[in-house]
């Protein structure tokens, strides 16, 4: 009975604290972080070497190897909801390990290459499994979520930005999730194009695109023949253009 009463009192006290700061509750709803997590993010952003601005959130700034991504991961690691990132964060406060893995992933390195570079404690199979877990569980899940939340808490007035600039910023977490570094490649990935060819096909799509919509992308992909897929594949690819096209058709339900 005494424990129940103490728990009830604690709950009432916590609720009263939230009522005193409704903005914190609103931000919690927007990001999925607890109010305590929101406060951790604000505290972490105050410790950044440079205040975040609109220019901070573009692919070149985030994935350009200038330590900004490592600093942002440092902020994320303060948030209780993102503790899974600790498994691959690396030692020290700069967190270069996870930032470098993310950058390699976004700029096109294969899982095998990432496994060889960052996971070398076991045999090749175990290392590949660890790389897959790092990408698909920690980075694509928590990294995407964390970066998206930070953009919302950065203090940037998105209402003042152009629609194109807002879309560009919104695409940054999606680039991490899909493992590509251009908005056009993200659209390709959203339409089931294999990652290793999505960048080149995205470049081709950019030449003819009008509205950059999912439906337009689908029409573009449906218009391609085997030769188009062959021209878009990487020179060192072990797959043919026809095989890429078949995989896309299979996953897209065409």
pLDDT tens track for 228-253: 999 999 888 889 999 999 999 999 88
Is 65 within a domain?
Answer: yes
Distance CA(169)–CA(178), nearest Å, equals: 15
Same-domain pairing of 127 and 157: yes
CA dihedral 40, 143, 86, 17 (to 10 degrees): 20
Q: Which of 123, 152, 181 is the last residue of a domain?
A: 181
Same-domain pairing of 77 and 131: yes
How many C-beta neighbours within 10 Å does residue 104 have? Answer: 18
Each residue's pLDDT tens digit, 41-93: 989 999 888 888 898 898 888 998 778 999 999 999 999 899 888 877 765 44
Segment (H or E) for 124: helix 124-133
- Whether 15 has a pLDDT exceeding 60, the answer reads no
- Whether 221 has a pLDDT exceeding 60, the answer reads yes
Six-digit token pair at 172?
A: 């940054």
Band (pLDDT 50/70/90 cuts) for residue 102 is very high
Q: Which domain holds residue 190?
A: 182-254
Distance CA(21)–CA(243), nearest Å, equals: 56
205 vs 2, residue with greater confidence = 205
Six-digit token pair at 166?
A: 């807002």
Contact predicate 103/167, CB 8 Å: no
Is 170 within a domain?
Answer: yes
Q: 3-state class of 120 per DSSP? A: coil
Each residue's pLDDT tens digit, 128-157: 999 999 998 889 999 999 999 999 898 888
Domain count, the chain: 2
């Amino acid at each position: 009975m005494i424990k129940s009463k103490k728990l009830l009192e604690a709950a009432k006290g916590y609720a009263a604290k939230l009522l005193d700061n409704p903005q914190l509750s609103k931000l919690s709803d927007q990001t999925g972080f607890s109010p305590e997590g929101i406060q951790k993010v604000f505290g972490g952003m105050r410790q950044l070497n440079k205040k975040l601005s609109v220019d901070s959130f573009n692919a070149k700034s985030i994935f350009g190897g200038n330590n900004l991504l490592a600093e942002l991961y440092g902020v994320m690691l303060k948030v209780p909801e993102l503790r899974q990132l600790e498994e691959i964060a690396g030692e020290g406060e700069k967190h270069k390990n996870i930032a470098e893995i993310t950058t390699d992933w976004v700029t096109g390195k294969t899982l095998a290459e990432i496994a060889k570079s960052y996971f070398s404690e076991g045999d090749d199979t175990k290392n590949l499994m660890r790389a897959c877990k790092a990408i698909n569980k920690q980075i694509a899940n928590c990294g995407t979520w964390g970066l998206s939340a930070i953009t919302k808490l950065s203090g940037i007035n998105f209402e003042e930005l152009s629609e194109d600039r807002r879309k560009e910023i919104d695409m940054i977490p999606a680039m991490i999730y899909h493992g590509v570094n251009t908005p056009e490649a993200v659209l390709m990935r959203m339409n089931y194009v294999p990652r290793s060819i999505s960048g080149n096909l995205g470049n081709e799509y950019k030449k003819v695109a009008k509205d950059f919509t999912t439906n337009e992308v689908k029409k573009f992909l449906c218009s391609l023949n085997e030769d188009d897929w062959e021209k878009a594949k990487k020179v060192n690819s072990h797959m043919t253009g026809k095989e890429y096209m078949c995989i896309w058709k299979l996953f897209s339900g065409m």
